[in-house]
Structure 1
C-alpha cells in the first residue's frame, strides 16, 4: 500500500501520445489522492512526455521497457507519431514483445492493480498468475465503445459483424433515429482493426479480449455529455462496472515564449474572425487533401492560424507540399507554424479573435475546444474520429465538411463554405450557441475533479472485493 493507505497502481498505455497523455493525467490525479503509480512505457516515449510539476507528490515512478526490434519498424520508432499509419502494425508486433519484460517487472513490484489500454491482450494472463486485477481505461469515448457492441457476444461468436459494411448502419441498441455509423471509406481505412495484421491479432480482438478480462472499465467521458451511451454500456452491453472518469482537461504551461508570439498575432485580429486549424500529431492528409484544405482556407478570406505538422514518421518537409504560391499569397491573411511539439491548443481556441476550430475530431482536441466554448468545423480523418463527428453533429455542436460517400474526397469550396457558415452565416448561430453551452460541461474543472474523487473512492471501497474475485 502507498501513502494515505493508497494502492500501488500500474498505468500502462498504448504507444500513442493521444493515449499516453490521458493516462498521465489520470496518474497525476491518483497520485494527488495518495496512490503510488508505476507508469510503464518505452524510454523515448517517456522522455517526450510533459514534465511533472514540482507540486505533485513524489508518487509517480516511470518504468522504461525497451521495445524489441522488429523487421520493417524504423529504427528508434517507439510511438505511433514515429511511423506512418501503415507501419503501426509493426509497432503493435514490437509492443507484444514487451510481454517478457513486463512479466519481470511484475515479479519484482507486486502492484495492487493494473490499468491498461486496448492493445494489451497478453497482460491479463500474466496478472492472473500473481493475483493482480486488471482494468481497461478507454481514452475512446463511451459512444465509440457502445458502437462496437458487447465484447462477450463478440468473443463467443454471437456478434458476427466483421465485414466493413456491417459498421455503416446504425445499431439496434441506439435509440432511433440515429446518425451513428461509419461511412464505407472510413471503415475501410480502419481495416487493420477488423482483421489480422502482421502482429497476428486484430485490434477488434485485442479490444474485446481486454474488456472481457477486466474487472471494470474506466472511460474518458462524463454523464452530462454521454449519459445515454454510458447507460447503454452498463445496461445492455457490458457485464462489468463502467466508470466515467471525467474529461481530463490537460494542464498547460502558461510561461511559454512560443505562446507569447502567437498571442501577439492573435491580439491584432478582429474578434471572432480567425480560423484555427490543427489535425493532431498523427493524422495524415494526402497531398490532394492538403491542397484542398489550404485552398479552402485561402478561399474563405478569413485570417487563419494553421498548426501544420510534418507527416508522422517522415523527414519530408510539409511546406513544399502545399499548393504553389500558397504561402506567398496568404502571408497577409494567415500564419502557419510547423509544430514539432505540442501546440498550446486550448489557449489558442479560447482567444477572443478565434471564431472557429477546424479539427480532425480527435477526442482530446474536441475536449480542449469545447472547454473554452470554441465552435467547430469537423474533418474526421481516422479511427474513432468519424463517430465523434457524428455525435457532435447530432447535438448541433459542429458542422462536418461534406465528403464524397465513395472515396471520402472533399473540395476547397466545401472547406471554405463550412468555415464561413460557422464564422459569419446566421445558419451557424446554433452551432456557436451550442459550443458556448458546452463550456459549462467541458470547462468545469471542479466537476471533472469530482469524477476523479469518485474513482478514488471506488478504488478504496472495492479493491478488496476485486482482489477476492481474482484469487
Structure 2
C-alpha cells in the first residue's frame, strides 16, 4: 500500500552461505520498498556478505551476534563452509545458543516481523510471547518441502507412513496429482539423515516442522511458472498462506569489490568467445561436497565430452582434488573457477546453457547413476552432455532450457513476486495492530 507505514523486519538465516545469500537478496528487495531491515548473523559471516548498495545502506542494519564457543568447532568457524560435513551438528548447537541474545534483541526493538530459517525451532514461542509476526523463508522450492508432509503430524510427531528407503523413491501418498518427482535410492539415503538424530539433539525434520508450525506465512524461493501445483499443495498441507518470492536473481549492484568485478570481466570475455548456447555451466552450490570419485569422474567426463565448460568449484574438503594434468589438458576449452563466481550473470549470458534436473519439464536430463550409491561414470557424463548440447535428440531440452533462461532473466516477473510478498507483510501488520 502506498501509504503503508515503514516496517521493521528482522532476518535470521541459518549459518550457511547457501542460505545467507538468498536471505540477503530478499532483504535488499524489501529495503528497496522503503522498509527497515535488521539482518542478524555472526561477525565473520557479516564481514563475508556482499556489500550493501549505497542507496540502501540507511535501510539495512547488521546485527552481530557472537557465536557461543563449542569445543568441537575450530576457533573461527561461523558457517558450514568453514567445516567438514561431520562437524555441522556442533555449529547447530552453537546456533541454538544464540536463542537468548536473539530474544533480547527482539524484546528490545520489537520488530514488526521476523523472517527466519529452518534452524530456529526455538523461535516460534518467543515471537508468540512478544506478539511479533513471523515468516519462514525456505531457500528450497515448494516440492521439496511438500515431501516432508504436514508439519504437525509427519514432521514433528513422527507419524510419517514412510518407514523404509523405498518409500521415498515414489511420490508421497499426500500428493494428489500425477508426478515423476521423487528421490533416487541413493538420494533417499541422504533424506533419511534429516529424520535421524544428530549431535545437535534435534533432527532437521523436527526443526523445519516446528518452524513451519509456528510461523504466520511460508515464503519460498520459487515462482508459479515453475511449480504452481506444489506451491498450492504446500499451503494445503500446512493450512497457511504460501507466497513465492521469485528466484531472487542478484540485483544490479552486485560488485563485491573491484577484484571480483574484474573477475566477471575476465569470465565474460571468455564466454564471448563461444557460440551461443554451447557452454556447460557446472555448479553445485556452496553446501554440497563432491567425493573424490564424483569429482574425478565429472572432470574426466567434461574432458571426454569435448565441449566448452565453466565449472564453479567450491569444495570444502581440501583432500578432494582434480585429476593430474586436467586443467592443462582442457585449457582454453574449460575454466575451473575456485573463487567467487557471479552465477546469475553467467546464466544470463547467451552462451551459458544450464542442465538442471527439471526432467518433468524437459529442461534438463539426469546423468545415469548407480541407483545404490549414486556414482556416475565419465562416459555417462560425456554422453549426456553431448546429447543435451549438440545432438539431434537433445533439441527439446535446448528449447525448454531457453524458455527457463528467459524466466530467470525476467526481472519484472520476480519484482512482482516481491511486491506481493511485501504487500502481505504490510497488510498483515495493519490488521494485527487493530
Q: Do they superpose with TM above 0.5?
A: yes
Compared CA separation, residues 56 and 17, structure 1 to 2 (3 A) = same
- Superposed CA RMSD in Å reads 2.1
- The 3-state SS of whatever aligns with 2:394 is helix
The residue number in structure 2 matching 1:96 is 96
Task: Report the TM-score when normalising by structure 1.
Answer: 0.85
Q: CA deviation at 1:324?
A: 2.6
- Alpha-carbon distance in 2 for matches of 1:272, 1:222: 24
The residue number in structure 1 matching 2:293 is 288
The residue number in structure 1 matching 2:373 is 407
The residue number in structure 1 matching 2:302 is 297
Which consecutive unaligned segments of at least 5 residues does structure 1 have? 358-375, 379-388
1:261 is aligned, of 244, 255, 266, to: 266
Compared CA separation, residues 442 and 123, structure 1 to 2 (3 A) = same
What does the per-residue CA deviation read over 1:47-104, in whole Å, with 9 as the maximum and x for residues that have no partner? 1111111122611110011111112222211111111222211111111111111122
Is 1:201 the counterpart of 2:202? The answer is yes
Compared CA separation, residues 275 and 135, structure 1 to 2 (3 A) = closer
Is 1:448 the counterpart of 2:375? The answer is no
- The 3-state SS of whatever aligns with 1:135 is strand
Compared CA separation, residues 199 and 317, structure 1 to 2 (3 A) = closer
Is 1:146 the counterpart of 2:146? The answer is yes
The residue number in structure 2 matching 1:348 is 346
Is 1:128 the counterpart of 2:128? The answer is yes
Q: CA deviation at 1:349?
A: 2.7
The 5-angstrom pairing of residues 233-244 of structure 1 reads: 233-235=234-236, 237-244=237-244
Q: CA deviation at 1:233?
A: 1.8
Aligned partners of 1:67 and 1:78 also within 8 Å: yes
The residue number in structure 2 matching 1:430 is 396
The residue number in structure 2 matching 1:226 is 227
Compared CA separation, residues 133 and 410, structure 1 to 2 (3 A) = same
- Alpha-carbon distance in 2 for matches of 1:224, 1:277: 24
- The 3-state SS of whatever aligns with 2:337 is strand
- Alpha-carbon distance in 2 for matches of 1:353, 1:160: 46
- The 3-state SS of whatever aligns with 2:228 is helix
The residue number in structure 2 matching 1:117 is 117
Q: CA deviation at 1:466?
A: 4.3
- Alpha-carbon distance in 2 for matches of 1:34, 1:163: 49
Aligned partners of 2:310 and 2:336 also within 8 Å: yes
Q: CA deviation at 1:221?
A: 1.6
Task: Report the TM-score when normalising by structure 2.
Answer: 0.92
- The 3-state SS of whatever aligns with 2:56 is coil
- Alpha-carbon distance in 2 for matches of 1:54, 1:15: 25
Q: CA deviation at 1:332?
A: 4.5
Q: CA deviation at 1:42?
A: 0.6
- The 3-state SS of whatever aligns with 1:398 is coil
Aligned partners of 1:4 and 1:34 also within 8 Å: no
Compared CA separation, residues 164 and 71, structure 1 to 2 (3 A) = farther
May I ask how many residue pairs the two structures share in their alignment? 426
Compared CA separation, residues 453 and 333, structure 1 to 2 (3 A) = closer
Q: CA deviation at 1:187?
A: 2.4
The residue number in structure 2 matching 1:371 is none
- Alpha-carbon distance in 1 for matches of 2:157, 2:145: 18
- The 3-state SS of whatever aligns with 1:77 is coil
The residue number in structure 2 matching 1:364 is none
- Alpha-carbon distance in 1 for matches of 2:74, 2:232: 43
